[in-house]
Structure 1
Amino acid sequence: MDDTRARQALIDRYIAAYNAFDVDGMLAVLAPDVRFENFSAGRLTAQAHGIEAFRQLAGHAAALFSEREQRVTARRDHADRVVVDIAYRGVLAADIPDGPKAGTVLEMTGQSEFEFADGRISRIVDRS
């Protein structure tokens, strides 16, 4: 399998696991020293370094939603990374303090940037 197809397969597995609330499935495609950053409106809102920190962050995020789906709408392959455009839809499972209530549907678009090392995803940067 060539690099482009291998990278796409990793991204597809990661997103399928994300959509299924399968944290272990997400972790299965990540490097042990994975780096994750989430930016919203240009501001860093979450980050994790290492598989255990990512596990905790992913578990917390999964508990916030009763439904969630990331759908890739475009993909750009670069020599050192893959950037995908994402359409996101989620339904809140609980009230957010001073924010939206349980049952609120959140829809947004964004980008996820994936980097790779040793056949795994080594860095993810989400932007919305």
Structure 2
Amino acid sequence: MICEESKQMIENYVEAYNSFQVEGMIKLMHKDILFRNFSNGELNTETIGIEAFRELAVQSSKMLSSRRQTITNYRAVDDKIEVQIDYEGIMAVDLPNGLKIGDRLELKGKSIFGIKEGKLSLIEDYS
């Protein structure tokens, strides 16, 4: 079972993410936050600690002119919380993979959150 406090923390994180509020995301994180991003089953980004996450979040926020994660489901998995996510974003830059400014990006995926000492200690994004 997922406690309301943990659910609210995740919702606050997603709200800050959607609003490009890096400091709003950071204030919810444990100092040793581990962030990983997996795409097509492969790890393509990993940071450890708040400063490394902040750097990545600031850099990533410049790539999109708008973005929205929508949580569609919660599930407790061992001592973690798995959320199903619908994601959409509008590109603000051209990327080497062929995405251009103004292109719409739509993905379905999941994020796994771990909580330690009342803060987010793990975020793993899968798309």
Shorter-chain TM-score range: over 0.9
> 4+ runs of 1 displaced by more than 6 Å?
none
TM-score for the superposition, normalised by structure 2: 0.96
Rounded Cα–Cα distance in structure 1 between residues aligned with 2:97 and 2:115? 38
Q: Is the contact made by 1:29 and 1:121 (CA closer than 8 Å) also made in structure 2?
A: yes
Rounded Cα–Cα distance in structure 2 between residues aligned with 1:68 and 1:107? 10
Q: Is the contact made by 1:91 and 1:106 (CA closer than 8 Å) also made in structure 2?
A: yes
TM-score for the superposition, normalised by structure 1: 0.95
Listed as ranges, the matches of 1:1-128 within 5 Å are: 4-128=3-127
Aligned CA distance change for structure 1 residues 93 and 5 (closer, same or farther; 3 Å) = same
Deviations along 1:85-124, one digit per CA (max 9) or x if unpaired, are 0000000001112421100000010000000000000001
The alignment partner of 1:11 has SS state of: helix
- Note the residue ranges of structure 2 that are not aligned, 5 or more in a row: none
Paired letter, 1:71? T
Superposition RMSD in Å: 1.3
Deviations along 1:64-87, one digit per CA (max 9) or x if unpaired, are 000000000111023411000000
Tell me the percent identity.
Answer: 40
Q: Is the contact made by 1:4 and 1:77 (CA closer than 8 Å) also made in structure 2?
A: no
Alpha-carbon shift at residue 45 of structure 1 (Å): 1.1
